[in-house]
Structure 1
Amino acid sequence: MPTQTPLNILLVDDEPLARERLRALLGDIAGQCPATVVGEAGNGMQALDILRETAVDVVLSDIRMPGMDGIELASHLGRMAKPPAVIFTTAYDNYAVQAFDLNAIDYLMKPVRAQRLLAALQKLPAQRPVASLLNDIGQTVRGGGRTHLSCHERGRLLLVPVNEVLYFKADLKYVTARTVEREYLLDESLTHLENEFAARFLRLHRAVLVARPALAGFEKAADDDAEAYGWALLRGVPEKLPVSRRQWAAAKAELMA
């Protein structure tokens, strides 16, 4: 890692005193690892807002934060064309911290020490984390899936709130996420989405998952309809979703529950 070119660093922590401490530590090690703090954020959503406008080499991020936590933030960053490195800071050691020791990702236990921070920064550059692995780790830490999905559109990183998605539909290599307002193309697999959000989404068809709250009813397909055994009716949008013969009984039972 070059020692003369300062690293651009973003500090992400919901505690202002924790960010202040990191600033001070970066000042303490500036002779060995020059760095410029280009921004501060109190959670993952605020961090992504900053990253849309500011180039960053390293994100120093707390793990447990309100809104969007550090692991979900890192999973979105991992999908960027040129993702910054992420170093987690955490006060918790009651889960498998070793899971974060993934080349480009280091972790620092609070209170962070100057020499430990220096050692983490000196690991750069390194291989970036795999977003799907971070998603799996995140489910263990927060007890559920992500709050947002990310997609790239005309060079921008867009966030899609999971609770606004009415359905997912697979088509070739992409998955479409439909909200009331519009569609988003995701670089995700339908199987992974089904596993991550099993509590919210129901399988209707080999290519379709529907949000349980979005279901309004069902109608039987015509006898000559080769596309579906039946159709699911949705709240808020006019589209109908195909239901396979295999999923028909379970889907109807779900609506009656």
Structure 2
Amino acid sequence: MSTENPLKILIVDDEPLARDRLRALLSDLALQLPGMVIAEAANGMQALDFLRDHPVDVVLADIRMPSMDGIELATHLGRLEKPPAVIFTTAYDNYAVQAFDLNAVDYLLKPVRAQRLLAALQKVPVQHPDASVLAGIGQEMRGGGRTHLSCHERGRLLLVPVGEILYFKADLKYVTARTAEREYLLDEALTHLEIEFADRFMRLHRAVLVARTALAGFEKAAGDDAEAYGWALLRGIPEKLPVSRRQWAPAKALIKNS
């Protein structure tokens, strides 16, 4: 990495002192590996807002942060047109360090040491994180699903809060996520969403998952309706969702017991 083309770095940590320490270490390492801190962010949401319009080479990301943690941030970074490399920084060693032996991703324990940081940064020019691996590790290490899903729209990366999604509907290779305001096209598999968010969504039909809290009622389909055995009514929007014969009783029981 030449002085004419320094490594562009984004520091993401909710602790100002931790960000200051990383900035100081990077300054100390400048002669060995020229780098430039482009910006700082206090959580994953702020980082993604910045990265939509300001690409960087590497993100130094804490793991435990409010709003969006570092693991979830990494899964969304993999969807950017030019994803940066990610180096995790954390004060906790109980995140199974061996799980991050991913070539392109390093895992540094705080307090971060200069030579350890240098060794991690030297991997950045030729190696990049495997987003699919990060996604799997992310869910396991967070102990739950993502708080946001991401999609590309008109060249921009959009985040969709999972808590606002009323249903998912599969159609060919895409899945539509519907909120009260609009629809989003996701590059996700319905079966994976069903597993990840089993506590929030239930299957109504081979192509439909619905948020349990979005169900308002049901109506039986006409006898000649080949699309569904019945229809689910939703809170806040006029759309109806098809319910298969197999899911009719479990879905109605959910409403009855809620």
Q: Give TM-score, length-normalised by structure 2.
A: 0.96
Q: Aligned residue for 1:179?
A: 179
Matching residue of 1:46: 46
Partner residue, 1:87: 87
Letter in 2 for 1:19: R
1:103-141 superposed Cα distances (whole Å, 9 cap, x missing partner): 221111110000000100111234543434323322232
Q: After superposition, give the CA deviation of every residue in 1:20-39 in whole Å (9 maximum; x if it has no partner).
A: 00001101111111000000
Matched letter for residue 92 of structure 1? Y
Q: Please give the secondary structure, in 1, of the residue aligned with 2:76.
A: helix
RMSD in angstroms over aligned alpha carbons? 1.1
Q: How does 1:69-80 map to 2 (within 5 A)?
A: 69-80=69-80
Of all paired residues, the percent bearing the same amino acid is: 80
Q: Deviations over 1:42-71 (max 9, x none)?
A: 000010111122121100000010110000
Superposed CA deviations along residues 65-123 of structure 1, whole A, max 9, x for unmatched, are 01100000000000111101110001111131211221221111110000000100111
Aligned partners of 2:203 and 2:125: how far apart in 1? 41
Q: Equivalent residue for 1:151?
A: 151
Cα distance between partner residues in 1 of 2:77 and 2:229: 40
Query: How far apart in 2 are the matches of 1:229 and 1:57?
Result: 52
Deviations 1:160-194 (A, max 9, x none): 00000000000011000000000000001001111
Q: Could you say if the C-alpha distance between residues 99 and 126 of structure 1 is closer, same or farther in structure 2, counting changes exceeding 3 Å?
A: farther
**Structure 1, unaligned runs of 5 or more:** none
Distance, in Å, in 2 between the alignment partners of 1:132 and 1:34 is: 30
Q: In the alignment, what sits opposite 1:96?
A: 96
CA spacing shift, 1:126–1:213, aligned 2, 3 Å: farther
After the TM superposition, which parts of structure 1 deviate over 6 Å for at least 4 consecutive aligned residues? none
- How much has 1:253 moved relative to structure 2? 1.0
124-133 or 113-122, which deviates more: 124-133
TM-score normalised by length of structure 1: 0.97
Q: Contact 1:135–1:146 at 8 Å: present in 2 too?
A: no
Contact 2:104–2:130 at 8 Å: present in 1 too?
no
Mapped partners of 2:149, 2:70: distance in 1 = 14
Relative to structure 2, which stretch is displaced further, 124-133 or 106-115? 124-133
Task: Specify the alignment match of 2:66 in structure 1.
Answer: 66
